[in-house]
Amino acid sequence: MLKICCFIFLSLLSFAKTCSGEKSEIIIEDKPRPEWLKTEFDHVVWIEDEDVSKINSQYEIKIEEKLNPDSVAVFFLSAHVPLDYFKNSKDFYPNQKAFILIIPDWEFYQKVAEDATKNGIMLEPATTNYYYYFLRENNQLKIDEYHISGDGHPIIKH
């Protein structure tokens, strides 16, 4: 059923772009799924808008979750905090050696909403997320990224 819905969605999106004169372009990553991107994540920590405060251009995330620094923590970012905050922050769980950050593809969702509104239709976009693996070692930060749209997302448990 999900495959049929995705097919219908992509067909409608392609039709909407054709009607508006835009070329339809689907980009598929030619990259194997990384080992760190499991099929299921337990104990995912959700970061909501109420967990985030912004003063001037500085973000502060207040979550009082106790994490094992030797484990790989998983966070789902539903608040609109830029990725650069996590890339540059030494304050976000500084003792955590590795963590995974799941971020919805807000740009994709916005584009679908705009296209649907422009064409007077309602669309349910395919689930589309970015997955980032952060590894802190030897005073360096390494980041691996993976993008999934449609099927293939890990099961997320709180």
pLDDT tens column, 84-131: 999 988 889 999 999 999 999 999 999 999 998 999 998 889 999 999
Answer yes or no: is 26 within a domain: no
Answer yes or no: is 116 within a domain: yes
Cross-strand partners of 148 = 129
Answer yes or no: is 112 within a domain: yes
Answer yes or no: is 34 within a domain: no
Residues in the chain: 158
Answer yes or no: is 75 within a domain: yes
- The pLDDT assigned to 23 comes to 35
Answer yes or no: is 28 within a domain: no
Answer yes or no: is 102 within a domain: yes
Answer yes or no: is 7 within a domain: yes
Domain of residue 134 covers 2-20+40-156
CA distance 42 to 102: 13
Q: How confident is the model at residue 158 (pLDDT cuts 50, 70, 90)?
A: confident
- The pLDDT assigned to 140 comes to 92
Average pLDDT over residues 59-63: 92
Residue 20, Cβ neighbours under 10 Å: how many? Answer: 10
Number of independent structural domains in the chain: 1
